């Protein structure tokens, strides 16, 4: 079965592609509450948060279709496998229904593909939630990004994702198309990093994105003109 939804034909269908993000370390409970309320109102796919806000968001979104997504080893991807496994388990226990896991970036940058595979496989196997692997494509060559996506696919990831939004680069047409080429129709592809407009969002979906991560989610859906 394909993981790619049809291209949106309405504002509500566009909203269903979007993970509404609140990832600043300085984010307050009031900002998280606002994001959850906006996600309910517009019908976003998920709200994506750091660990301290997961339980609060799960309570705030109870009874809605909006999922809670949480980032793991964010944004550097430098933790030990044991720490990453423990963090993922704790986030699921707090109410996370999806995990956005930063790939082990030192391994990807050094071409240590076996080590990256073993790490990702361990976290995915220990997680009772779908895992989106963040490759931080702005730091990688196209060959490294393609290899990282292949490793994530082999390790059992549900999706591959362009970037954290905190590193160099962000969501580009080229990065999304590359990840989609490796993912095929088996995995999701999440575009994230610097998505601000409706036109950008639609172009990334056209390139192969099945999910978008954005903090400008409300502006994106309100820019829909049909």
CATH number at 128 reads: 3.20.20.70
Position 168 scores a pLDDT of: 86
State the average pLDDT over residues 146-155: 98
Per the domain annotation, does 4 fall within a domain?
Answer: no
Helix/strand/coil for 193: coil
Per the domain annotation, does 197 fall within a domain?
Answer: yes
2 confidence band (pLDDT: 50, 70, 90): low
Q: For this structure, is 161 an active site residue?
A: yes
Strand partners for 18? 212
User: Cis omega (within 30 of 0) on the bond before 75?
Assistant: yes
Q: How many whole angstroms separate alpha carbon 95 and alpha carbon 1?
A: 27
Residue 1 has pLDDT above 80, yes or no: no
Q: Full-prediction pTM beyond 0.75?
A: yes
Q: How many whole angstroms separate alpha carbon 83 and alpha carbon 97?
A: 19
State the average pLDDT over residues 147-165: 98
The candidate with the shortest Cα–Cα distance to 134, out of 122, 145, 126, is: 145
Per the domain annotation, does 223 fall within a domain?
Answer: no
Question: Which residues in the chain belong to E strands, given as ranges?
Answer: 18-22, 46-49, 67-72, 98-102, 131-134, 159-161, 188-192, 211-214
Q: Which of 1-5, 21-25, 82-86 has the lowest mean pLDDT?
A: 1-5
Q: Which one of 67, 107, 119, 190 is the catalytic residue?
A: 190
Per the domain annotation, does 101 fall within a domain?
Answer: yes
pLDDT tens digits for range 33-73 = 999 999 999 999 999 999 999 999 999 999 999 999 999 99
* Segments forming the whole domain that contains residue 138: 11-218
Q: For this structure, is 190 an active site residue?
A: yes
Overall domain count for the chain: 1
Per the domain annotation, does 168 fall within a domain?
Answer: yes
Q: For this structure, is 100 an active site residue?
A: yes
pLDDT tens digits for range 68-110 = 999 999 999 999 999 999 999 999 999 999 999 999 999 999 9
4 confidence band (pLDDT: 50, 70, 90): confident
Q: Which residues, 6 or more positions from 181, have their beta carbon under 8 angstroms from its beta carbon?
A: 146, 208
pLDDT tens digits for range 187-205 = 999 999 999 999 999 999 9
Per the domain annotation, does 1 fall within a domain?
Answer: no
Q: Which one of 19, 100, 107, 119 is the catalytic residue?
A: 100
Q: Which one of 19, 73, 132, 161 is the catalytic residue?
A: 161
Q: Helical H runs in 18-67?
A: 29-42, 54-60
Q: How many helices (H) and strands (E) does the chain have?
A: 10, 8
């Amino acid at each position: 079965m394909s993981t790619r939804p049809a291209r949106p034909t309405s504002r509500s269908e566009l909203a269903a592609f979007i993970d509404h993000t609140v990832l600043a370390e300085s984010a307050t409970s009031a900002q998280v509450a606002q994001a959850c309320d906006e996600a309910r109102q517009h019908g976003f796919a998920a709200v994506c948060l750091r660990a301290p806000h997961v339980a609060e968001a799960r309570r705030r979104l109870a009874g809605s279709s909006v999922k809670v997504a949480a980032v793991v080893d964010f944004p550097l991807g430098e933790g030990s496998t044991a720490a990453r496994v423990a963090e993922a388990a704790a986030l699921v226990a707090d109410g996370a229904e999806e995990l956005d896991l930063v790939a082990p970036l030192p391994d990807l940058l050094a071409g240590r593909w076996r080590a990256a595979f073993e790490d990702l496989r361990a976290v995915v196997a220990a997680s009772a939630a779908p895992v989106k692997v963040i490759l931080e494509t702005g730091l990688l060559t196209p060959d490294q990004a393609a290899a990282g996506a292949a490793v994530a696919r082999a390790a059992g990831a549900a999706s591959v994702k362009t970037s954290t939004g905190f590193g160099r680069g962000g969501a580009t047409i080229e990065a999304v198309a590359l990840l989609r080429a490796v993912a095929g129709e088996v995995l999701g592809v999440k575009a994230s990093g610097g998505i601000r407009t409706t036109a950008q969002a639609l172009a990334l979906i056209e390139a192969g994105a099945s999910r978008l991560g954005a903090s400008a989610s409300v502006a994106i859906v309100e820019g829909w003109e049909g």
